[in-house]
Structure 1
Amino acid sequence: MTSPIPDDGIRRSKTGIPLPGPERPSRPDWALDETDLHKSMDSVPLFMSSLPEDASDNPLIQALQDLAYDGTPEEVAENFKNQGNECFKQGKKFYKDALLFYTNGLEVFCKDDKLNETLYVNRAACNLHFGNYRKVLTDCAHALKLNPKNVKALFRSAKALFALEMFPEALDCCEHALLNDPDNQPVKDEQAKIKAEFERREKIRIEKELREQKIREKKLLIEGALEKRGIRTAATPGFKPDHPHEIQLDQELNQLTVPTFFLYPEHNESDLIQAFNEQDTIGEQLAEIFYEAAPWDPEHKYKPETVQTYFETEDQGGNIGLMKVGLNVKFLTVLTHKKHVLRDGLARFIVVPKEDTQWKKDWLAKYGK
C-alpha cells in the first residue's frame, strides 16, 4: 500500500525518510541554482563581483552602492583600493573591475597622499594591461608628483613609453627607478630589453640615413655632370619607370652612362640598354645589339649597315621632330645636341630599315618628313 502524501507534498517511507518520485515539489523560484552557484550568487546584489549595466535602475543596488561611500573619504578610498586589489589578484578577467574600483577610490578625493599615490599606480597597472599607454603615463605622472621616488610608477612609465617607441624616455625612467632601488631585477630586465631594441632601431635609422645621404650626394654629382656637359633634361609629370636602371657617373673616368631604349617601330619591339656609355658610338652599340638575330628578325635583316637611326628632337616650344644619326656619332654628341632632351633619365633611339618601303614612308610622314 502506498504511503500517504503529507501536506508538504513529499512522499516518505514509514520511518519518515523522503522518497524520490514525481510528487516531490520543484525548487522555488527564489532558490539559488545549485548547479552553478557562483553564477547565481553574482545575480544577488550583495554578492555581485561587478555591476550590471542597468545598475542605476535597481534601488537595491543603489542602496548597496551608497553603503560603499559610508565613512570618511579616506576610509571609502581605502575600501575601494582593497576591493580593487582583490579583483586584480583574481587575474586578467577581473582587471576591468579593479580599474573601476581604483577610479572610484580616486574620485573620492581623499587627503591621504600615500593612498592616492597607490591608487594611481594600481590603476596604471590595469591600463597597462589594456594598452591604454597614455593613461598609464598620466596616472604615473600623478603618482610621481606625490612621490618622485615611486619605483612602480617609474617602472610602469618605462613599459608604457617602450610600447609607444619612446626609447630614450623609457630608459630615463629605468635609470631613475634604479637610483631609488638599485637591485630591482624587473627594472633591470626592462632596461636591458629597452636598450637592446633602442640600439637595434638606432642602427637601422643610421644605416637608412647613410643610404639616403649617399643617394642625395650621387644625385647632386650626376646633376652637376649633366649641367657641366650642357645636357638638357626634363621630367614627365607622374612618370614612373618600369625598370630599375638610372644614370650613373664613373667619377674616376668622369664618364656618364645612361639607360637607353632602342625602338623598332616596324616590328613594335625594343631593346633596353642598361648603361650606354657617353663615349661609345651609335654604331658600336648597334653592333652589340645585332650581333645575333633577334627572335622578331629571323632573317637577320637588321644590321648596323642596313638600318638608319634617329632620335626625336624637341624645341623650346615643345614641338617634336626627327633627326638622323650616323654610325660614327658618339652618344655624348647626341646628348649635348641643342634639340635633344634627356627625358625622365632615359635616352631613346628609333631604328628603321634603310630601304625605302611604304611602311617607312608612312612612318616618316608622321614627323612631317
Structure 2
Amino acid sequence: MDRKRREWAKGGDDDDDSNDSDDSDGDRMLQEAIDMAIQNGKGWAPEQKEEYMKMILDDDYIPPIFCSSEEELRNTGLSEAFSSLKYDDDPAITMKLTKQRASKAFLDGKQNLAQNIQYYRTAINLYYETVHWATKIEPLEHRQQSTPTLDVKKDDDTPTKPNSSIREDTSTFEVYTENELNNIKSTLYSNSSLCHVQLKNWGYAKNDAERSLTFNDQNIKSIYRLALSYSMLREYIECGTTIDTGLDIDSKNKELLKLKKSCSTKINSARQAKQKRETQRSERIAKIKCIWKHCQNPTLSKISSTGDKIKLGRIALVASTNDSHDEDASCLESKWHHHFPHTGSIPKNIGNEWTWPCMFQYPSHNQSDFVKDFNENELLAMRMGEMYPELDEENFDGAIKETSMKWDYRNEFTCSNLAIYFECNEVTTTKNGIIHPEQVELLTDLSSTMKYYESSRALKGDEGPDIMKVVELLERKRLKKQRKQWKKQYNSLYNKPNPVDCIRIHPGMTLHEILIHPKMIVTNFIVTFIVIPENHPYHEIYLKQHPCIHILQPTQNPK
C-alpha cells in the first residue's frame, strides 16, 4: 500500500502541468485504496455498505448514542461495539469508578429521605455492575501462572521479550490477589444487601447476603444482614443458625446480640416445632416400614396365609396440570377413588392384629361409607350385618321399618339383598412402562410408598400451606409427564384402556383373605368395596362396564 502511494506521489510530481487530470487521478487513487483495503479484510464490502445504509435510513432506526434502553441498543446490532467504546478503560479503573458512584448513590439515599427509593435502586444496580467489572480482573496468581519465563540472555545481557499477550507495563493498573478480589466482591454484595434492607426487599437482601458469604464467610456484616432477612421472612430456624455462626466469629457483636435477644423466643419456638415435626415424621416412617413389612410377609401375622403378598398402589393426587382454579379439576380430585377426605388413613397394628381403613362405595346412589378400622380376622358378613341389618316386616306400632340410610328410599340396603365387589386394578403396563394417568400404579418399593404417603398428607394441608403448594406442584409435574408419555404412545388421552374387571366377594370371606388375592390392590392404603343392591337397575349397567371374572368364596377345609 505504501509502495502504491509513493508511486502515485512520484507520478504526480512528473505531471505537475496536467491539472485537468488531478481530480480523476485522485478519484482513481481513492477507489484503488478502498478496493485494496477490502481485499485485505478491512473496510466494508459493497453489500455490507448497502445493508448499513438501508438500516440507518429506516424510520425505526435509533443510533446507539440515543438509545434509552438495553433492548433498543441490541436492536441496532452495535451493542458490543458501543460497549467497548463506553468501557475502554482498564477493568480495575472502571471497577473503582463504578464503586464510587454506587457509594455516592447510597449516601444520597440516606440524606434524601423523600426520594431515597430511586437512589437505593441506582446504588444496587451500580454495585452489581461493579461486581461485573471485578470478575473481569485477572488475579495476580493467575497472571504469574500464565506469564512465561524470560529467555536466556544474549551476549549483551539483554533478555528477550516473552511471547505473551499480557501487558508489559503492569504499573499502569492495580494488581489484586484472588483473596483481595473475593473480599471486594463480598463487600459489594454486602452493600447491595444493605440497600435491599433499606428498601425492605427481604428476599433480595437474603440472596445478596448469601452471595457475599460465598466469597468471604467471615464477613460479619453480611452475616447480620442475612440473619435480619431471615427474621423478617419468619424463617426463625435459619435466623438462629446464622446468628450463632456470627457470634462464633465475633461474640461481642452488638447488632447480632440485639437481634438474638429480640428473636430468641420465636427461634426457640421454631426449633421446638421443627423437632416435634421430625419426631412425628420418624414415627410415620416407622409405621410405613411396619406396614410394608406386613404386606410383604403376611404369613408373619396370626392368620394362616398362602404366602401371597398384599399389594399397595397409588393414584394421581391431582387432576390438573396447571395452577389456575379449575372447578372441573376440583370435582375430579374429590371423586371417591381419591378417598378424600380420608386421605392419610393407614392400617394399624392393634394387639398384634392388623386393621385396615375401608371405603364402601355405593355407585348406584353416589354415596359412600368409611370404616376406620376393619380387622383382618373379621368376616365380611359380620361387618355387613352391622352396616346393613335385615328389616322386620313391621314395627310394634304397625309401621314398616326403614334402613338407617336416609337416601335409601326403597330400603334396598339390607345384608341379604346386596352384591359386593372389588375392582381388579392390577395394571399390565405397556412397553416402556407407560400407564394411563387415571390408572392405579403399583407401589413396588418402600421408598416410593413412603414418598406417596407423605405427599398425600401434605396435600391435605397437614404440613402447612407452603409444603402443600410444593407437593402440589410436584404432583402436577408428575401428572404432566404421565400424560405426555401416554399421548406420545397413543396420540390422545381419550384413548383410554378398557374399564377394569371386578370380582364378587362372598360374605363368608375374611378381610385378610380378600387382601391377599392376586388381583387385589389396596389403593391409597384404603380397601375399597363396591356395594350394589341385587335388583337395582345400575347393577346390570355396572357389570356391563366391569365384567365379573370370578367369585371369591371360602374354600372348604378337608375333613
TM range (shorter): 0.5 to 0.7
Deviations 1:230-262 (A, max 9, x none): 343242542543232523212433222232224
Separation in structure 2 between the aligned mates of residue 82 and residue 174 of structure 1, nearest angstrom: 31
Partner secondary structure for residue 247 of structure 1: coil
2:527 match: 347
2:399 is aligned with 1:218: no
2:503 match: 322
Q: Which amino acid aligns with 2:258?
A: D
- Contact persistence 1:312–1:322 (CA under 8 A): yes
Q: Which amino acid aligns with 1:228?
A: N
Instruction: Give the alignment partner of residue 273 of structure 1, picking from 368, 371, 376.
Output: 371
Partner secondary structure for residue 355 of structure 2: strand
Separation in structure 1 between the aligned mates of residue 244 and residue 370 of structure 2, nearest angstrom: 53
Structure 1 unaligned spans of 5+:
1-53, 55-76, 111-115
Q: Which amino acid aligns with 2:291?
A: I
2:182 is aligned with 1:160: no
CA RMSD of aligned residues (A): 4.9
Q: Which amino acid aligns with 2:411?
A: H
2:337 is aligned with 1:238: no
Partner secondary structure for residue 295 of structure 1: coil
Range moving further from structure 2, 274-283 or 162-171: 162-171
Q: State the 1:224 CA deviation.
A: 1.4
Aligned length in residues: 275
Instruction: Give the alignment partner of residue 254 of structure 1, picking from 341, 346, 353.
Output: 353
- Contact persistence 2:224–2:243 (CA under 8 A): yes
Matches within 5 A, 1:109-148: 126=195, 128-130=197-199, 131=201, 133=205
Separation in structure 1 between the aligned mates of residue 242 and residue 228 of structure 2, nearest angstrom: 8
- Contact persistence 2:226–2:242 (CA under 8 A): no
Higher relative contact order (CA 8 A, sep 6+): 2
- Contact persistence 1:310–1:351 (CA under 8 A): yes
Partner secondary structure for residue 159 of structure 1: helix
2:414 is aligned with 1:303: yes
Matches within 5 A, 1:1-369: 88-89=110-111, 91=113, 93-94=115-116, 97=119, 126=195, 128-130=197-199, 131=201, 133=205, 154-155=220-221, 157-164=223-230, 166-167=238-239, 168-174=241-247, 176-179=249-252, 184=254, 186-229=255-298, 230-239=308-317, 240-245=338-343, 246-263=345-362, 265=364, 267-291=365-389, 292-313=403-424, 320-326=501-507, 328-354=508-534, 364=543, 367=547
Separation in structure 2 between the aligned mates of residue 299 and residue 101 of structure 1, nearest angstrom: 78
Q: State the 1:277 CA deviation.
A: 2.1
Separation in structure 1 between the aligned mates of residue 380 and residue 372 of structure 2, nearest angstrom: 15
Separation in structure 2 between the aligned mates of residue 244 and residue 302 of structure 1, nearest angstrom: 23
Q: Which amino acid aligns with 1:336?
A: I
Q: State the 1:330 CA deviation.
A: 1.9
Deviations 1:251-308 (A, max 9, x none): 433222232224353x454333233222222222112222443223345343223334
Partner secondary structure for residue 422 of structure 2: strand
Q: State the 1:352 CA deviation.
A: 3.9
Deviations 1:170-190 (A, max 9, x none): 3333454444x6xx4x44312
- Contact persistence 1:157–1:170 (CA under 8 A): yes
Q: State the 1:313 CA deviation.
A: 4.7
Deviations 1:172-228 (A, max 9, x none): 33454444x6xx4x4431232354444333333322222222222111111112222
Distance 1:92 1:212, change over 3 A: farther
**TM-score, with length taken from structure 2:** 0.39
Q: Which amino acid aligns with 1:243?
A: P
Q: Which amino acid aligns with 1:170?
A: I
Q: State the 1:82 CA deviation.
A: 9.3
Distance 1:205 1:303, change over 3 A: same
Partner secondary structure for residue 189 of structure 1: helix
- Contact persistence 2:106–2:123 (CA under 8 A): yes
Partner secondary structure for residue 235 of structure 1: strand
1:26 match: none
Separation in structure 1 between the aligned mates of residue 208 and residue 371 of structure 2, nearest angstrom: 59
Separation in structure 1 between the aligned mates of residue 521 and residue 347 of structure 2, nearest angstrom: 17
- Contact persistence 2:346–2:525 (CA under 8 A): yes
Distance 1:362 1:259, change over 3 A: closer
Separation in structure 2 between the aligned mates of residue 343 and residue 141 of structure 1, nearest angstrom: 47
**TM-score, with length taken from structure 1:** 0.55
Distance 1:337 1:139, change over 3 A: closer
